[in-house]
Structure 1
Amino acid sequence: MINQAAATGAKADPATLSLEFRHIHRLIDPGDEGVQIWQIQVIAGDQAVGSLRATRGLYWKADNLRERMADEQSFLALVAQQLLDEQGRFGPEFEEFVDMAGSVLVVDELDLAAPWDDPWIAAGLAASIIDRLTDNQFAVVFPRVAPGAALLAEAATLLDAEPFSDDLLIIDTALAAPEEAAHRVQERLRSRARYGGADPWNEDWDGEEEEGEEVLTARTRTVLRLALEELSGQAWSEAAALGDKPLHRGAGGVFGDLPPVTLRQDGIWRRQMARAFDDLAADLSSGAEVRPRFTGEEMALHLGIARAEGLTRNRPRLVREAVADLPEHRRDFDWSACSADLFEDHDVLMLFDDSLDGIEDSGSAPTRPWAWSTSRRSTGSLLSTPNRPAPTIAVSVQREPLRASAGLRGPVGPLVVTRSAPDVYADLHGPSCGCRAGSDSDDRAEVAAVAREGEHNHRDHRCEQG
């Protein structure tokens, strides 16, 4: 029974709602084979705030589906009369109305206490029931004008139901439009949940409480860090396995999923990209502001947000365990807001657009992969940024050519020289001061070759800027 007092005082936050399905099936009763009835209770927190009924009519299991549904009386009898002939077959008008006449799901007897008696809430409940009790060969039937059916009829319209008669609304699950409508309803309810039940689409919404609010809540920050750490582990493993080997389109993995202009980059570039995941994860762990400082980090953060959204959808147990001790916030896991607020622009995503093939020749940093490790705001290279210490790197130099030129014989291992990462980066890719030395694609091979021979060093470089 619905607790009216509790329901009336409750705040209409969709995040508190759950559905309890109750279905009794008698094991060997032939009367249960063609018609299956679910009594569904709507729960807010631990209080019942509503109920409705869902009935599946399975044409292929019933001896005579019309007679069986009519035996239940009420709205089910009306549905049977309008959709089926006396032999229990679907009528020609119904078969013409839907794409595949297979089975029916009848949703009726909706009862919602205030403040939950809202068409968007009702549409969300109906969409959830349809998702769990049908496939793409069902017609979902709603009452159109029955007493007390106005709210359910409005909800059905939000889910793209079409009038079949003066009495019935029908959704054809074989079509894409109802699924898209259900997605819109779910997104609207998720937005409400972020604001504790307030509707940001309402004309009275002023949005003042949203202004200046941090999208990286404690729980969001933790899941995004997990996602970036996963990507980092994959990226380092792939970089070691691939070396300088070019990739083909659709290769998969972290680097195979990057834009096509990056597929022929070398091992150094791939390690730099892996480092971008590490640095962003470190920012999240330390509580620092998370802002991508150059194009490589922009792409890494886009991938991290997508992976984090995947974790919340596909690995809920992992997410629950990771955030168990952290305070909840209404904006937790708002990945759309993260994508909108954590970037100055989304220019780098243009590289995924096949129609813009060749855009890398435009000369802008987002389109030139070899410039991804240089800040678009002149903050230094990927390997050395103002707020991050430069790591040391063990650089392996093959000594055999040098020994041969000196007339020496016999095997010898590589000479390992420990150098700071900015020096290595500058030697191989030119200075990070922003001038053109060693930065154009035509110069890269020459700069790298000269650097390997020890004839160029960024510390000796002089530029005329400033």
Structure 2
Amino acid sequence: MRLRGVISQRRGQNDEAHDWYVRAAEGGDAVAIAFFNAPGIYPPQDGHEIGSETWDPDVEWDEEDEEPWRMTPRTSRILSCNLAILADMAHAELDELGDQPISPNSFGIFFACLPASTWGQPRPWRRRALRALDDLNEDIALGHSPEPRCAAEELALHFALQSASAMTRDEPDLVAEFTQGIPEQRGDFNWSVCSDLLFQDHDALLLYNPMMQGLEHPDNSLNRDMDIGDLRPEGWFKEFGNVSPRDPTRGFVH
């Protein structure tokens, strides 16, 4: 059923492909299940855009008059809160899972939502994936925008942005509590812009696409053509060559 979906997707028949992937997921296919767990950004509810009174996304900025983009303080605060919440919940999942493989019936907000290629990884691997959330939050604590330095941190940030966009969409009272005393600014909670500018690329999200299975291997022809690199689970923690490395002697928060 997944193969039928892939064939339909290659033909541009996306609705039919979606239907086949649903059927494959209902049948227990791990790749199809993971396809529906790919992180994304929740758009704000119509008429309820937080911070919309101070920022009009349709107004073009004069790049010569603007400082380089960075997250606003309220955006940083909400993203930091969601990184911390995800880390706490992932830690609880880690204690429950241990070395047990993820199954099609597994439920969770982090490890079970990662690409299917990671579902069989042991506890030490999962703990390093969890540390990616804490490392990104440390960037914010130091006054910087979070900078993913490896594939694990890219996926962690994608999930944090998804969680943050859901919070600002659905929980305005909680957002107000977390940002109390921080003034509104133009650009508050524009998670789509964060997704565009906080990553070097979105190649890691291709791991969720059933049509792209095998792309994670550096010897894959499409991988080589796109210069993607090693996205196999064992390569998730290899830091990119164009970023400053993290302290290799740092410990674990969780």
TM-score by length of 1: 0.39
Q: Which amino acid aligns with 2:159?
A: L
1:213-362 alignment, distance < 5 Å: 213-249=68-104, 251-253=106-108, 254-362=110-218
Q: In structure 1, what is the Cα distance between the partners aligned to 2:127 and 2:252?
A: 14
Q: Write the deviation string for residues 257-316 of structure 1: whole angstroms up to 9, x where unpaired.
A: 111111111111100011110111121122134211111111111111111101111221
Contact 1:191–1:199 (CA under 8 A) maintained in structure 2: no
Deviation at 1:194, TM superposition (A): 7.3
Q: Which amino acid aligns with 2:119?
A: L
Contact 1:244–1:267 (CA under 8 A) maintained in structure 2: yes
Identity among equivalent pairs (%): 33
Q: 1:376 aligns with which of 237, 240, 243?
A: 240
Contact 1:302–1:339 (CA under 8 A) maintained in structure 2: yes
In angstroms, what is the RMSD of aligned CA positions?
3.2
Q: Write the deviation string for residues 167-207 of structure 1: whole angstroms up to 9, x where unpaired.
A: xxxxxxxxxxxxxxxx89949x969947745733xxxx564
Contact 1:261–1:360 (CA under 8 A) maintained in structure 2: no
Contact 2:44–2:168 (CA under 8 A) maintained in structure 1: no
Contact 1:365–1:376 (CA under 8 A) maintained in structure 2: no
Q: In structure 1, what is the Cα distance between the partners aligned to 2:87 and 2:212?
A: 28
Q: In structure 2, what is the Cα distance between the partners aligned to 1:330 and 1:216?
A: 10
Query: CA 1:246/1:331 → structure 2, altered by over 3 Å: closer, same or farther?
Result: same
Deviation at 1:214, TM superposition (A): 2.9
Higher relative contact order (CA 8 A, sep 6+): 2
Q: 2:58 aligns with which of 170, 175, 199?
A: 199
Query: CA 1:211/1:194 → structure 2, altered by over 3 Å: closer, same or farther?
Result: farther
Give the equivalent residue in structure 1 for 2:224.
none
Deviation at 1:227, TM superposition (A): 0.6
Q: Which amino acid aligns with 1:241?
A: E
Deviation at 1:365, TM superposition (A): 4.3
Q: Which has the higher helix share?
A: 2
Structure 1 unmatched ranges of 5 or more: 1-182, 394-466
Deviation at 1:391, TM superposition (A): 2.0
Q: In structure 1, what is the Cα distance between the partners aligned to 2:149 and 2:50?
A: 30
Q: In structure 1, what is the Cα distance between the partners aligned to 2:44 and 2:89?
A: 34
Aligned length: 202
Deviation at 1:379, TM superposition (A): 6.3
Deviation at 1:248, TM superposition (A): 2.2
Contact 1:235–1:255 (CA under 8 A) maintained in structure 2: yes
Q: In structure 2, what is the Cα distance between the partners aligned to 1:286 and 1:335?
A: 21
Contact 1:225–1:284 (CA under 8 A) maintained in structure 2: yes
Contact 2:101–2:122 (CA under 8 A) maintained in structure 1: yes
Whether 2:251 is the aligned partner of 1:391: answer yes
Contact 2:51–2:186 (CA under 8 A) maintained in structure 1: no
Larger Rg: 1
Q: In structure 2, what is the Cα distance between the partners aligned to 1:321 and 1:392?
A: 28
Contact 1:215–1:331 (CA under 8 A) maintained in structure 2: no
Q: Which has the higher strand share?
A: 1
- DSSP-derived class of the 2:80 partner: helix
Q: Write the deviation string for residues 409-442 of structure 1: whole angstroms up to 9, x where unpaired.
A: xxxxxxxxxxxxxxxxxxxxxxxxxxxxxxxxxx
Deviation at 1:208, TM superposition (A): 3.4
Q: Write the deviation string for residues 24-65 of structure 1: whole angstroms up to 9, x where unpaired.
A: xxxxxxxxxxxxxxxxxxxxxxxxxxxxxxxxxxxxxxxxxx
Structure 2 unmatched ranges of 5 or more: 1-42, 220-227
- DSSP-derived class of the 1:361 partner: coil
